[in-house]
Structures are given as structure tokens and as C-alpha cells.
Structure 1
């Protein structure tokens, strides 16, 4: 029998709560749903008013994974959707997760949350800039932290504040609040900084995805600033054997990782997040402060 729960007045049918989703820790779907209920106040501001894409992994990371932008079959009528026209489907719509019932409904599908750098009300007008720092083995998050520190200083020279989060995989993401600007303009600036970083740090950085150039270096992926691209939303669980989270980290933690050469402390799991929120608060709160946004040169 499928359990029914009520979340802020909405009745939700939750399924397979005992199913193990993250095998390394035996984490069940019920525990995943509890995680999202616990961190709802932190993740919802990052989801709200942004069309969401889902990477679904209903049978865990070893099962079938599929990426979808369309509202899944059976999406409740009370879940908000917004028009996101695409060349292949000018009438396309996507889900917008605005509230806790929508969050728990989506989490019950077992998904990673991915969002663009723009809001539904202003398509292709970015209010965030993002760098995805992706290490090529044998490089690790340690090298990503060293690149992140360089980019933080470079962005600051242009009057921009950067904030770091783990990717929930091997790398690091930098998020930068910007005065709303066309995605193409933000993308071009991000690319310039990535090319410049490769020129200054040629033994550490590449700005192209070419695999032959990747071993031992950090790919500074600037492409997620394009209007059609998305990035893992802060606080989303990732489809990994361990229940890793794409979670904010302090710059002190980044500096320690870079200096100590140990990426272990930056592997943040589901059960780490509530204590970190209690200790640090929402490290990404400045992303929502208009006075912290800077103009993209």
C-alpha cells in the first residue's frame, strides 16, 4: 500500500520508502525524502522561479539514469510549470519547484535537481555566473581548490564576489551573483577568464573539454553559463554510490584543502548538511542580496 502524507496541505503518495538508493551507506528512499524535508528552507530559494531539469535515478546510481526537462507523466496540477520554448518544441514547459510540497513530490521521483543561471521571469538573462571545476585524474578536488582561489582573486579584481560549493562528485563549483545580464554576455566573460587562467596556469588549467589535454589538470568549464545549460542546484543529492551533496563550503575550507593536499574533508554527505547549516548558516545567502551582485565587464 502506497503511504499518503500531507505536506503544507497537499496530499502526496510516497512510494518504495524502504528501497535502497545509495548502496554504499544503505541509504533508503525514505531517508532521501527526510533529507529534503530537513533542508527544504535551504534548497528552495535556489530552486524557486527557475525551470528545473531532473536527472532521475529511481533504481540508484547503478540503475538507469535519464535526464529530463519535460514535466514527468503524472505531474500534479498544483505543481507549477513555466514555458521554456526549445527549437524542437516551441510549446515546451518545465517544472518550477517553488514550495515544500513540490520539492517532496519531485524528490519522490529520485532526482538530481539542475537549474539554469536565470529565472523563469527573465529567460536567458543571467543573475549568476558559474564555473564548474572538473579535475582530470590524477588531479582531485585539491587542484580544483587551487584553481578556485585563483579565480576568486581574478573575479574580485572585476568587483565580483565568488562563493564555492562542492559538485557532489569530484570537483568544485564557483557561483557569482551578477547584475542581470544577457546569458551570452556572461558566457563570453566566463570564457575569457577560463582562457586567461589556462594562460597563467598552463600546468594546472585547461579551458577545453578535450580529453587528451585533461590528465592531471582542472577543466574550467565555463559552458554552463549558456542559456540552455544547467548546473547541479545547491544542496541537491547526486546520483552516486555514496549520498554526496553539492554543498556550500567556506573559503577557509577551500584554502585548507589546497594547502593540505587532502580532498577528503570536501566530500560532504547527506547527513553532514543539517549540522553544517546549524554551524555556518546558509553560506550562499549572499547570492540573494542585490547589493552583492556585480556588473559583468
Structure 2
């Protein structure tokens, strides 16, 4: 297990360096940053002054090396719009997005795994078809529309939950439901497919023949083997929630990094956009590493392979 973990960690470091280079180069290939920062009415002399001020007149490899060294020290530069550093802006907004993504993933798993198991146990019955219908409905309904429905029923009509702000955990209930609902269908279908395959395996029939309790067979033998792909996909879904929650954050007025990214793009605040790209991409790398290690722990065949 240690050797597997070290190999995966080395691969994660290599991917992290590649991701940092891509995050740095994306803004460079999108156009002349100096001309964009100077504005449409700027003269050639002003553009050159901006280019020298921000070091954009030096070779790209030199710019990347200096930026990478600063990033490793936690210095992601300063915002062009806010009077704060990029790192402080992201750190201030990150807890809201992390809370929303964590609760959203919890909602998705709490809904998808039981539904997938039940659908597999009652395969080709009305229960299975109902679960699949819910999955189709979940993916067909846009997340912002579902969010608006939640606001209307639970926030305005019933008045049970707040619909904006970040004052307490109750403010995250409706956003987490809206965010988690969209990830539920794919996780549910994967759980169902895994359970259907595992329940037909010989070792499950052997476990039943030994007289083991049904609950033990389902949880210890079937679900543990069927859930490995779900763990890998859940880590990707968590990364999607971290980076793609801008719509939900906007609808519920949550000041997270998704909304900060949208603000920065609209204001051409390139250092903030670059910093968010790097942070979110590194989250993906770390989450993928954690998922690989969890899968290896759940299924010894992965680490032996």
C-alpha cells in the first residue's frame, strides 16, 4: 500500500506542475494582457509601460518560473480591482464554497447510494423504473431552475429556510440541495450498475449459501466492492461542485470563489482568475489522489495491479 501511495503521490505532483503551467499559459494565449489591462483607448506608449510594470516584456518561461516560486510561498499576486492580495480573496471566499460543496456532495451520496442499491435489489420492477425516472428528471432539470423552485416553496411559501446570505448553516441547506440534486443521478446509476454486477457474482451466492445475514452480504460483501467506482466519481463531482457552483452561489447570494471568479472575469481581474484556476485545479489533483488511495484500500486488486 505504501508503494502504491508513493507512486500516486509522485504522479499527483507531476500533474500539479502541469496544471500550474496550463493555468499560467491560458491567460497568455487569450490575447495581449498588457493591451487588455491598459484599456481600449490606451496609446502604444501606455501599453508598453503596463507591459514593463507587470513584467510582461520578459520571456514567458521566466514569468512562469517567478510566478510558480511565488505561488509555492502562497503569494498569488494582487488583485487589480480589490485592494487585497489574491490569496486573501480566495481564502476569504473558500470556506463558503467548501461548505456548500461538502454539503452538496453529502446530499448527493445520501440520495444516490440508497436509491442505487434499492434499484439493483428490485431490478426491472416499478421501484427500479421509478429510481431511473428520478435520475432522468434530475439531469434534465437545470440546477438554477431547481434552486428557484426550492426558494419558492421552502423559502417564500413555507418560510422554513433562508434563501440568501451566509449567516449560519441553515443558509446552506437549500443551496446544498440544489447543488447535490444535479449530481445524484449519475452517482445513483453508477451505484445501481455496480450492485447489479456484484450481486450476480459467485462469491455473493457463496455468502448466501453459507447462511450469512442478508444485511452482512449486502453491506460487507456487495456494497463495498460496488462502491469503489462511486468513490472515484464522487471526488470528481466534489471538484465540479467547487469550481462549478457559480450559478448556485449567484442565485442564493453566497459569496464563494465561484461568484468571485465570475466577478473577476467580468472585471478583467486576471491575477484573481489565474489564482482561482490554480487553486481549483490543485483541488482536483488532491481529490483524485485521495480517491485513488481510497479505492486501493477498498479493493486490494487495484494496488496489486
Structure number with greater CO (CA < 8 Å, separation at least 6) is 2
More helix by share: 2
More strand by share: 1
* TM-score normalised to structure 1 length: 0.25
Q: Highest CA radius of gyration, 1 or 2?
A: 2
* TM-score normalised to structure 2 length: 0.24
